[in-house]
Structure 1
Amino acid sequence: MTDPLAENFVGVGLREPHLDFFRSHPNAASWLEIHSENYFTPDSHRHQSLLAIREQTEISCHGIGLSLGSVSNVSQFHLNQLKSLIDVIDPMFISDHLSWSEFGGHYYNDLLPLPYTEEALKIFCRNVEQVQDALKQNILIENPSSYLRFEHSQIPEWQFLAEVQSRTDCRLLLDLNNVHVSCFNHNYEPQQYLSAIDPSTVDEIHLAGFTKKPLDKGEIWIDTHNQPVSDEVWSLYSNWVNQHGPIATLIEWDTDIPEPQILLDEASKAQSLLAQLPHLKQRA
């Protein structure tokens, strides 16, 4: 596998409207991230397009369907499909979320929050280990955005996430937009969250935009991924990389998808921030 950081640290999310663009512009982005489940059908047009893109560009597999927080074991059928995709494209990262989305065979179109309890921690770690054993490699777990919390949660989210990493030896995908959104919704300080994350366990960062929604009892922030990265999230990112060094970074944009150049412009902003880091200046 090629070192994803050898020349450029910043990629963009690959969405279906952009398949033809990135197939015909193989050097437009240094790497691309897919939602794994969209490419499980080998004879589909999108799968064939992905194979063509992969010949020139590194790919990361970002999952939304393993439902690692579900009480039941991970679906073996889903896991087999994921493994088949991985075997074909050899991704630079494999990731999923600190969430659940399945119960009793019913799948929900949301990444639902966990109660942060010891019981939930054991279940989540069991499922992560099941996936890592099947894939024979470590996966990345992403911190969620959330809009409610369980009254019986006993562990702060950042501590829960760190404990998952410690117990399973998984890696972390730090979504700074999710940190920003969740901390506002639950009245936490982003620095309280980020200071609890061991930077040596983080392999990737996500950056995205969000929406502010007014409600009768106040405002809620929603991780909509439908606009540019906010100034506040850029500030969190700048602070993180200045403290901890360059890291593989992804620009996400999932709804109201713009022209590819909009994503690439956002990626250029991130790359410009990284280029100011001392040892990257020396390399240049």
Structure 2
Amino acid sequence: MKNTPPPFVGFGLGLRTCYFEEILDTEPNVDWFEIISENYFVSGGKPWHYLSQIKERYPIVMHGVSMSIGSTSDVNFDYLAKLKKTIERVQPLWVSDHLCFSSLGEFNSHDLLPMPYTEESLDHLSQRLSIVQDYLQRPLILENVSSYLTYEVSEMSEWAFLAELHKRTQCQFLLDINNIYVSARNHDFAPQEFIDAIPESAIAQIHLAGHSDFGSHIIDTHDQPICDEVWQLFEQFAKARMPVNTMIERDDNFPSFKEIMAELEQARGLAPASWSKHEYA
């Protein structure tokens, strides 16, 4: 499976039900929308009613939350069949999910748990990624997750693990800068070191989001405005790298559409002028 970065199409938003009507009424200056894949596994209903209209006007990408690609259980082909059917119906520009595990057998944590960063995990993920991509007949982009624990068995840093996975498989990453910041605060490492270690050729998309700060630790809640430190990390990234598709992600405590559009415009404003040139047609 050939894994190359998708074309730069600009700045996007997570498509959430509370914004459906306003998007259709106002046709905002958004370059693309990202949907949660599992929300569209059903055959009809409100999500499809609105998505069918929105995708006539905007490119769509798909982002999954429950593949659990890192699990050691058998590959869930029932899940993959639903995902493939949805991909065929949506025709997204690209498809992503999380580099993590969330289930083992009948157990489901309902959380995105980090992998142990070992050679064994690298071999396991390389094999699983190949199986999934062959079944879907398209590349799968993987997102780094936020974490609140580390493993004693880990043999390398998370960023070294991602860089090596890319070297072995040419896989692409959805770099969530907020998740990097959350993990950096929780585990006391420099977030810029993480970002600098990921090859430019490996980054397909960026997520920008907010979190909840409890002082001694922070939780990736995606229900707050993007903090200054995450904006600064994004600005440094944008000045140093080629254009990367960038999205504002909000999953709860939704602000007005005007407020979330203001964050999108802030992202545009922090990026160099070269990031405004689209290759998508």
TM-score scaled by structure 2? Answer: 0.91
Counterpart check, 1:277 vs 2:278: no
Return the structure number with greater relative CO, CA threshold 8 A, min gap 6. Answer: 2
Q: Deviations over 1:77-108 (max 9, x none)?
A: 11011111111111112111111111113323
Worse-matched range after superposition: 202-211 or 26-35? 26-35
Q: Give the corresponding residue for 2:177.
A: 176
Task: Give the Cα–Cα distance (whole angstroms) in 2 for the partners of residues 105 and 235 of structure 1.
Answer: 42
Task: Give the unaligned 5+ runs of structure 1.
Answer: none
Q: How does 1:190-209 map to 2 (within 5 A)?
A: 190-209=191-210
AA aligned opposite 2:257: P
1:26 deviation in Å?
Answer: 3.4
Task: Give the Cα–Cα distance (whole angstroms) in 2 for the partners of residues 153 and 5 of structure 1.
Answer: 34
Counterpart check, 1:221 vs 2:224: no
Q: Give the corresponding residue for 2:129.
A: 128
Q: How does 1:130-279 map to 2 (within 5 A)?
A: 130-214=131-215, 219-274=216-271, 276-277=272-273
1:4 deviation in Å?
Answer: 6.2
1:280 deviation in Å?
Answer: 5.1
Worse-matched range after superposition: 159-168 or 71-80? 159-168
1:25 deviation in Å?
Answer: 3.3
Task: Give the Cα–Cα distance (whole angstroms) in 1 for the partners of residues 77 and 241 of structure 2.
Answer: 37
Question: SS of 1:73's equivalent?
Answer: coil
Worse-matched range after superposition: 121-130 or 94-103? 121-130
Q: Deviations over 1:109-136 (max 9, x none)?
A: 2101211122222222222111111111
Task: Give the Cα–Cα distance (whole angstroms) in 1 for the partners of residues 274 and 142 of structure 2.
Answer: 29
Q: Give the corresponding residue for 2:35.
A: 34
1:29 deviation in Å?
Answer: 1.8
Contact 1:138 1:169 (8 Å CA) reproduced: no
Q: Give the corresponding residue for 2:3.
A: none
- Deviating above 6 A after TM superposition, structure 1's stretches of 4 or more consecutive aligned residues are none
Question: SS of 2:214's equivalent?
Answer: strand
Question: SS of 1:195's equivalent?
Answer: helix
Change (3 A) 1:26 1:227: same
Percent of counterpart pairs with the same letter?
A: 39
Task: Give the Cα–Cα distance (whole angstroms) in 2 for the partners of residues 63 and 278 of structure 1.
Answer: 30
Task: Give the Cα–Cα distance (whole angstroms) in 1 for the partners of residues 138 and 161 of structure 2.
Answer: 22
Task: Give the Cα–Cα distance (whole angstroms) in 2 for the partners of residues 182 and 136 of structure 1.
Answer: 32
Q: CA RMSD in A?
A: 1.7
Task: Give the unaligned 5+ runs of structure 2.
Answer: 1-5
Q: Give the corresponding residue for 1:112.
A: 113
Contact 1:36 1:64 (8 Å CA) reproduced: yes
